[in-house]
Amino acid sequence: MSTQARGLQNFISDLRNAKSKTDEANRVAKELANIRAKFTNSQSLSSYQKKKYVWKLVYIFMLGYDVNFGHAEVVSLVGSPKYSEKQVGYVAMSLLLKAGDSMMNLVINSIRNDLVGSYDDAATSLALVSIANVSGIELMNALHVEVQRVLVSPNATPAVRKKAALCLLRLIRQLPDSIASKEFAEHIANLLQDRHLGVLTSTMSLLIGMASKHEMEYQTMIPYAIHILSSLVLKRACGADYLYYRTPSPWLQIKLLRFLQYYPNLMSSGQTYVPTLKQILARILNDTDVSDSINKSNADHAILFEAISTIVVFGDNGDVDLQNAAMRLLGKFISVREPNIRYLGLMTMSRLATLHNASNKEQIKTYQSTVVISLKDADISVRRRALDLLFVMCDGSNAESIVDELITYLVAADAGIREQMVLKIAVLAEKYALSKKWYVDTILKLISISGDQVSDSIWHRVIVIVTNNPEGDLQQYVAQTMFDVCSSKTAHPKAVAVGSYVLGEFGFLIAEEAGKSGEVQFKVLQQHWAVVDSATQGIMLTAFAKMSNLYAELQPIIAPIFLKLKTSVDIELQQRSNEYRILAGLGPDVMEDILREMPAFDTEKVSTLEIALEQEHTETHDKNIFSKKKQENGEGASPTRMVGNHAANPPPGPPPALEPEPDLLGGFDDEISVVVPPAAPPAQKAAVGISEDQIPGMRSSFAKLCSSAQGVLFQNAYVQVGLKSEYRGSQGRLQLFVGNMSGTPFNNLKIHIPEVPYLRTAISDESGPTGALTSAGTLDANQQKRLMIMAEAIAPYADVPEVKISFETDTETHTYPLRLPIVTTKFTELLTVNKEAFMGRWTQLAGKESQEIVATGVPGSPERMQKVASLLTSLNFGRCPEVDNATSVSGCGTYKTGAKDPSGKNISVGMLVRIEANADKFRVTARTLHPTVSASVKTIFCAALKEI
């Protein structure tokens, strides 16, 4: 083999020895030209040469290069009678030919011959695997009948049947109606009587895929599935080849249980096999124990959790004793230290909690304190499942304690789980509200603690509930509360939005109280104008209009605001201000009629928050029966699929005893097999990273470093990351400093700078080149590590490279992902042109611009425009003062790259930018020939303008 593949080996060696990406591309181009020349006269090529050149094409394609020829040679190899050539042909066909290629029609007959006209198992297996990999519609329509014939053929070997079953599964996922389900059920029944466990496992994958589409057509397979389960669980009838750490074929057991979950009313059908099924489930629940072997423990617990999931799916029609036994087991699992088991225990208990069994509800509540502890686990996946369980176990009796506990934890929760927590707290507060006032106070707590994660739908619900409940003193209470909240200068913008609506609608209810007159309410809201977004400003304008209608003394104060905003750059604000300004001139009667209180909102049958919560769960096809249940029912209730009142057709005779043949378990559908999902290992050290309150400072430091040569990129009590840089043309040299600011050494210090396609980088430290990952070992207290980065721009880009710094102390693990300010403008050379040249080029680039309006909250002034002009220079753009006026700054620059054009010259991109001021806003417009460069320049200037 080594002699025959010498040419391929030499080619691979040449590519591995290439000193740069350019050298590799040149070698590939040379080889492609040589292969193309050889294929022009393919009749003279020997079998060895044809295989060698096709293998080279496959390897080139796998490296990421386009291969758009050689298809005819691939087709000829597929049709060859020799296995060595056929193997090469099928591999190349799976990779190089796509579903819609015209050459695919030429290979169909060859594949058909290998499927039904060949007695060679190897050729048939190659054909089946290739069909599954290519899976084009035309290929499926032409060959799905032949695949079915191979599967049901009595002469097919177990190895071929396994591949045929999985190939057919791939086909029906693409073409669900390609099989007559009712007629094919008989063939599935015959396959389920096969003695080979590998065939049974693959058949069950196929059966689950078909049952997920047509449940009723395959309910007659239930007796077969229960019989096989009985043999594996009760009789342990399994040969040594399929014993996994003394567990009989766990993959097959899981698939059988998964299939039974498609028939939730099975336990109440009264069929003769129901007692056997109960006995099987009871045996799994009672006999599963923790093992010293992690592999056996994983396999046994995977079966156990699938059995519990089956009990959950059976729902209220299931056996109560099994449900109680499952609940007791889950109560143990959620207390163990092993995160995998605890994760699955929390997830499964939350599903079990959806049943309407009263004893389950009360039993689950006894674990509330244990679940709260898991809410503080180091593993975020465990925290998510604990949150789900708390949400499900909540009812009117414990809602207040659970909501208070969640709000308490929300203060310290990390950003990865905050949004989900906020949504679920809002749903619980609305669903089990002790009073409307308690609900409003709870939502305001959410806004004050985690306002950025409070979606608009959450505070919109507050508005709806307050508006729709005029009885009692709720509206007055909310007006009083929002007045107090908005009186603080640090009120969150979401709270200001709610306060603006409430005071505009119901502020008159408290206007008679001391210190809360209409004028005071107006001033309380107006102090937040500069720090809120335009959407909130629009709500404030509406509130101002209503206030001016209610309080005559405010009309001369509010009218100038509308007048000032009539030319606002924000279209919504401009329209509202003009409409309210004109409305004031139409007379008091018109204003009274238009600005009267809002009517009650339409009440939804289902809360919009609950709808938003449902949308978080992704739906799958045959992988997750629980997602399918939600899709059909809209809730967690049991689906309405029935087994039927009539007895399912029994098998023609008892299936033969399971006797494995000497064949390893072939490929089975790992997408729908169930294993214990990976979870983070037990946390021995606390995880420390970038806190939420440090993010604004990071953004500011990044923006400043975009226009300066050195500075601090990130700093906290433990570590300081500094940067020093210098650039010339398309190349830059940076020094990255990582300093130990703590009093203890850093262990296992790692600095990882992933490669990016738009930069050519070389990284080194004091000891020499390090590559993308630098492992510095230990960094003593008050010492620093220096890293040298050489970078060259080779393509336009709008992103920036990243650096990940991680280390450990005695009690903590630190991880800090940071962005490096190696932006487009760093590789820019300033350019100075006259007015005619600038305007001529500006006109030519019309339509190739990127534009954004930046609200800084600081009024414009000549001094501020001077800072903008200085910023332009610091970002390597040359001023064009002849083009500008008092409210605009324009500049030119050239983005330099190290990439070469066909003539061998470096590629450059000319750039124009124009910054126009209007009140406290800037409009940034960047125009270049390349849209990515335009977007990048615009983004950089917008970020920098916020810092001046």
Mean pLDDT computed over every residue of the chain? 83
How far apart are the C-alpha atoms of 327 and 336, rounded to whole Å? 15
* Contact present, 940 and 853 (Cβ < 8 Å): no
630 vs 541, more confident: 541
Q: pLDDT for 139-160, tens place per residue?
A: 777 888 888 888 988 888 999 9
Chain centroid to CA 207: 30
Flag whether pLDDT at 556 surpasses 50.
Answer: yes
246 assigned binding-site residue: no
Identity (one letter) of the amino acid at 60? I
Mean pLDDT over residues 540-567, rounded?
89
Q: What angle do CA 358, 360, 365 make, to 5 degrees?
A: 105
Q: What is the pLDDT of residue 947?
A: 82
332 assigned binding-site residue: no
- Residue 904: its H or E element: none
Would you give the DSSP letter of residue 901?
-
Flag whether pLDDT at 174 surpasses 50.
Answer: yes
Exposed e or buried b per residue across 175-213, where buried means at least 16 C-beta atoms within 10 angstroms of its C-beta: eeeebebeebbeebbebbbbebbbbbbbbbbbbbbbbbb
Q: Is 774 left (phi over 0), alpha (psi -120 to 50) or beta?
A: beta
How far apart are the C-alpha atoms of 87 and 125, rounded to whole Å? 10
**Phi, psi of 725, deg, nearest 5:** -145, 155
Query: Mapped to the 3 state alphabet, what secondary structure does 203-258 carry?
Result: HHHHHHHHHCCCCHHHHHHHHHHHHHHHHHHCCCCCCHHHEECCEECHHHHHHHHH
Flag whether pLDDT at 2 surpasses 50.
Answer: no
For residue 104, what pLDDT band results from cuts at 50, 70 and 90? confident
For residue 671, what pLDDT band results from cuts at 50, 70 and 90? very low
* Contact present, 492 and 449 (Cβ < 8 Å): no
Mean pLDDT over residues 340-350, rounded?
87
For residue 822, what pLDDT band results from cuts at 50, 70 and 90? very high
Mean pLDDT over residues 861-889, rounded?
88
Q: What angle do CA 391, 393, 398 make, to 5 degrees?
A: 95
Flag whether pLDDT at 905 surpasses 80.
Answer: yes
Q: Is 271 left (phi over 0), alpha (psi -120 to 50) or beta?
A: beta
For residue 175, what pLDDT band results from cuts at 50, 70 and 90? confident
Q: What is the pLDDT of residue 805?
A: 92
Flag whether pLDDT at 636 surpasses 50.
Answer: no
52 assigned binding-site residue: yes
Label the pairing between strands 849-855 and 878-879: unpaired
For residue 496, what pLDDT band results from cuts at 50, 70 and 90? very high
For residue 678, what pLDDT band results from cuts at 50, 70 and 90? very low
How far apart are the C-alpha atoms of 111 and 106, rounded to whole Å? 10
Exposed e or buried b per residue across 738-749, where buried means at least 16 C-beta atoms within 10 angstroms of its C-beta: bbbebeebbeeb
Of 692, 805, 685, 802, nearest in space to 755 by CA: 802
Q: Could you give the maximum distance between any two Cα atoms of the chain, in Å?
A: 103
93 vs 317, more confident: 93
How far apart are the C-alpha atoms of 700 and 710, rounded to whole Å? 14
Percent of the chain residues past pLDDT 90, beyond the cut: 21
Mean pLDDT over residues 772-796, rounded?
84
454 assigned binding-site residue: no
Flag whether pLDDT at 591 surpasses 90.
Answer: no
* Contact present, 758 and 794 (Cβ < 8 Å): yes
Kindly report which listed range (244-248, 321-325, 656-660, 922-926) carries the lowest average pLDDT score: 656-660
Count Cβ atoms below 10 Å from residue 275 Cβ, excluding itself.
9
Flag whether pLDDT at 651 surpasses 70.
Answer: no
For residue 119, what pLDDT band results from cuts at 50, 70 and 90? confident
Mean pLDDT over residues 581-589, rounded?
82
Q: What is the pLDDT of residue 625?
A: 52
Q: What is the pLDDT of residue 271?
A: 84
Mean pLDDT over residues 252-259, rounded?
93
Q: What is the pLDDT of residue 895?
A: 92
Flag whether pLDDT at 621 surpasses 60.
Answer: no
Instruction: Assign 155 to helix, strand or coil.
Output: coil
Q: pLDDT for 351-387, tens place per residue?
A: 888 776 656 677 788 888 888 888 888 888 888 888 8
Mean pLDDT over residues 820-836, rounded?
90
CA distances from 139 to 92, 130, 135, 844 (A): 16, 10, 7, 49
Chain centroid to CA 666: 32
Q: What is the pLDDT of residue 831?
A: 87
Structural domains of the chain sorted by starting position, each given as residue range(s) with its CATH number in brackets: 686-822 (2.60.40.1230), 825-945 (3.30.310.10)
Q: What is the pLDDT of residue 538?
A: 92
Flag whether pLDDT at 588 surpasses 60.
Answer: yes
Kindly report which listed range (327-336, 496-505, 599-608, 924-933) carries the lowest average pLDDT score: 599-608
496 assigned binding-site residue: no
How far apart are the C-alpha atoms of 317 and 277, rounded to whole Å? 14
* Contact present, 38 and 45 (Cβ < 8 Å): yes
Flag whether pLDDT at 811 surpasses 90.
Answer: no
Q: What is the pLDDT of residue 356?
A: 60
Q: What is the pLDDT of residue 725?
A: 92
48 assigned binding-site residue: yes
Percent of the chain residues past pLDDT 70, beyond the cut: 89
How far apart are the C-alpha atoms of 169 and 255, rounded to whole Å? 14
DSSP of 837-857, one letter per residue?
HHHHHHHHTTTSEEEEEEE-S
Please identify which residue in the block is written with the tokens 């050689």.
70
Full-prediction pTM beyond 0.95?
Answer: no
* Contact present, 922 and 946 (Cβ < 8 Å): no
For residue 903, what pLDDT band results from cuts at 50, 70 and 90? confident
6 assigned binding-site residue: yes
CA distances from 402 to 375, 397, 832, 840 (A): 12, 10, 65, 66
How far apart are the C-alpha atoms of 168 and 184, rounded to whole Å? 12
For residue 487, what pLDDT band results from cuts at 50, 70 and 90? very high
54 assigned binding-site residue: yes
* Contact present, 568 and 552 (Cβ < 8 Å): no
Q: What is the pLDDT of residue 676?
A: 34
Identity (one letter) of the amino acid at 826? K
CA distances from 662 to 198, 199, 257 (A): 10, 12, 26
